[in-house]
Structure 1
Amino acid sequence: MRQLFFVFLVIVFIPINSCDDGDVIDFELDFEDAFEACGDSDLVFYKTKEDPSESLSIKLTNVTLDDILEVDSDGLFESTYTISSSNPLNYRIYNNATLPSDLFCSAIPNSEISVKQDYESTSGSATVTTVLTEDDNDGISASLEDRNGNGNLEDDDTDGDGLPDYIDADDDGDNILTKNENPDPNGDGDLIDAQDTDGDGTPDYLDTDDDGDGIDTRDEENDTQDQNPANDITVSEVGPDYLNKEVANLGAPSAAAYRTHTITQTYTVTLLVYDFDLQVISFDVLDFGELEDSSLSATRTVTPDFP
């Protein structure tokens, strides 16, 4: 659990109490870092806790989850929203010992919810930042796919198929997935021991002719073209023809297509709230945390154009 720290408008830290019909309310604001979201046309970010039962939420009117996942060409989205009566920030304390799952965004409010105290801010601002990270899941970290070492992953495209290596599941374009060419046999993150079948100094995952027989790996298919040379085996004791130098498949037709690539997408959504006033206390900044939602993970498929 991460304690939320705030910059107070007083110099020393003191417990903040408020009286409600003689009751003393202690403000702990000790929430988990992660928050959740709900709402179809109005997005609500919220986090809850128990013992005591509390919630912290912010409503963004006429904003949807799809809106904040609409990243630009650099994989970024950032927007600042004004906290107002339409976009309120609420800190609530409940009489309930446990909180129901439908605390927010229910068409019909849960009648069992009993709010003991509701502090609302209608001033300040909230900045939502979304970062999209894509990965080819080829067993090689993105940092190691910066072939020219210039810090730019977008200009490293070994096979020239239009997909940078860090999102290219088949870096050399030979229709054998990089992860199946043993780029890191012992899994230590050091590619110095990458498999090099023909011993030519170029590891298989970057070698267009893995066995060095003069026939490109992707062309070592039989008459059935399925963009998968791994299932074309002439000598079962040796294995696939593309790793058998004694079998060159000279009569087989050349490859005519790349295989389809699957790219995973992970969206990281964070929220910072500035200069808000909850009536009993004001803050300069609040790190609301990071959104947890199943829709933040997705995949896309790409079949590169064949030269």
Structure 2
Amino acid sequence: MRKLIFVLFSIFLISVYSCDDGDIIEFNLDFDDEFYACEGVSDLVLYKTKDDPSESLSILISNFTIEDLIDVADNDTLEITDKSVTFYYRTYSDESVSNLFCEDIPDVVNITRNEVSDDSTIDILTVLTEDDGDGIDSELEDINGNGDLTDDDTDNDGIPNYKDVDDDGDNVLTKDENPDPDDDGDLSDAQDTDNDGIPDYLDADDDGDGVNTRDEETSSQDNNPTNDVTNEDVGPDYLNPEVSNNIPATEYRTHTVSKSYLVTVTVNDISINEASIESLYFGTLSDSNTSETETLTPVFN
């Protein structure tokens, strides 16, 4: 699992006073740090609402889509700065406005204040995290120790270890080979059945009987050596050095990797009436499009 740590400074309450012909207008931008997205024909709206009092903050980004928000580069990161947007602050007489956005037929609401900042900009930071669910943090899968996770591919199947559910290509999932038995992030105590100094999750022949683990199957070959057991007292044949069935494997099991995008937005240069806000942390995106799975087909060799 690739882990990235960010320090984000949230603005929970901003009170802005504006003088207009002697009147004082107070804006309390007290919203949660989570926002949502609504995609139109050619524009994207980022928004958040709250009740009691009923208010909304929204950002209109022209000629932009949700896909643009998660279009990360090769380094799994997207950074956009000073993108021109229109920022809205609205208040309502209605008790609840939670269903105001993204409806085919929007709710009819009574807007009591509509403040627009036409010349605002936003900064977008999107980071992709890919998790193969193998129980090993990605930074620990830098076998070469060069800081580049993409060139560590123990089984040469075309999938780097940090995205590979079966790092050694033995058709036994890494998570099932006890790479970190006590979940302390220290792999020095990883399971090593044949005590050859190579942990099972990186060992092509776990029991050291001369037959690769992936080939220790019965006649009902299913690319899963864990269910081939000759001696119940010992366990699967691939962990039993006394059994050396050899039925050559013909393919690897397919891989499913979880992908999640952390999208954060900051709004700059907000001008509402006579008031101005230099920078407002808008929050993180909550949307089903920020989570997905990817099926990878390893190259058999």
Q: TM-score, normalised by structure 1?
A: 0.87
Deviates more, 1:68-77 or 1:215-224: 68-77
Query: How far apart in 2 are the matches of 1:230 and 1:282?
Result: 64
Counterpart of 1:11? none
CA contact (8 A) 2:37 2:285 kept: yes
Corresponding position: 1:110 with 2:70 = no
Query: Which residue is equivalent to 2:295?
Result: 301
1:20 and 1:236 mapped to 2: Cα distance? 87
Q: Secondary structure at the match of 1:304?
A: coil
Distance 1:202 1:100 in 2: 56
Query: What is the CA–CA distance in structure 2 between the aligned matches of 1:155 and 1:5, rounded to whole Å?
Result: 46
State the partner residue of 1:292. 286
Return the alpha-carbon distance in structure 1 between the equivalents of residues 17 and 267 of structure 2.
20
SS in 2 for 1:212: coil
SS in 2 for 1:16: strand
Asked whether the 8 Å contact 1:210–1:242 carries over to 2, the reply is: yes
Change in Cα spacing, 1:25 to 1:116, as seen in structure 2 (3 Å) is farther
| 1:10 alignment counterpart | none
CA–CA distance in structure 1, aligned partners of residues 104 and 92 of structure 2: 20
Residue 147 and residue 20 in structure 1: after superposition, are their counterparts in 2 closer, same or farther (change >3 A)?
Answer: farther
Tell me the residue number matched to 2:210: 214
Aligned to 2:120: 124
Q: Which moved more, 1:210-219 or 1:72-81?
A: 72-81
Per-residue Cα deviation, 1:202-230 (whole angstroms, up to 9, x for no partner): 11111111011111101111223321111
**Identical aligned pairs, as a percentage?**
52
Mapped partners of 1:156, 1:124: distance in 2: 44
Specify every segment of 5 or more residues in structure 1 that has no aligned partner in the other structure, as ranges.
Answer: 7-13
Partner SS state of residue 131, structure 1: strand
Is 1:3 the counterpart of 2:4? The answer is no
SS at match of 2:119: coil
Aligned pair partner of 1:96 in 83, 94, 97: 94
Contact 1:218 1:255 (C-alpha < 8 Å) held by counterparts: yes
The TM-score normalised by the length of structure 2 is 0.89
State the distance in 2 between where 1:118 and 1:18 align: 17
Tell me the secondary structure at the aligned position of residue 105 of structure 1.
coil
Shift of residue 47 of structure 1?
A: 1.1
Q: How many residues of Structure 1 are paired with residues of Structure 2 in the alignment?
A: 292
- For 1:99 and 1:19, the matched residues in 2 are separated by 28
Query: What pairs up with 1:261-280 in 2 under 5 angstroms?
Result: 261-280=255-274
1:162: which partner in 2?
A: 158
Q: Tell me which residue corresponds to 2:149.
A: 153
Distance 1:280 1:50, change over 3 A: farther
Amino acid at match of 1:16: Y
Q: Could you list the per-position Cα deviations for residues 109-165 of structure 1 after superposition, in whole angstroms to 9, with x for gaps in the alignment?
A: 322x12111110110322333221111110011111112222221121111211111
- Residue range with higher mean Cα deviation, 149-158 or 165-174: 149-158
**Counterpart pick for 1:137 among 129, 133, 136:** 133
**C-alpha deviation, 1:296, in angstroms:** 0.9
Return the alpha-carbon distance in structure 2 between the equivalents of residues 148 and 73 of structure 1.
20
More strand by share: 2
Give CA-to-partner distance per residue, 1:82-124, whole Å, 9 cap, x none.
Answer: 43xxx421011222232242x123343322x121111101103
Further displaced range: 267-276 or 165-174: 267-276
Deviation of 1:19 after TM superposition, in Å, equals 6.9
Answer yes or no: is the 8 Å Cα contact 1:18–1:26 preserved in 2. Answer: no
Q: What is the Cα-based RMSD across aligned positions, in Å?
A: 2.3
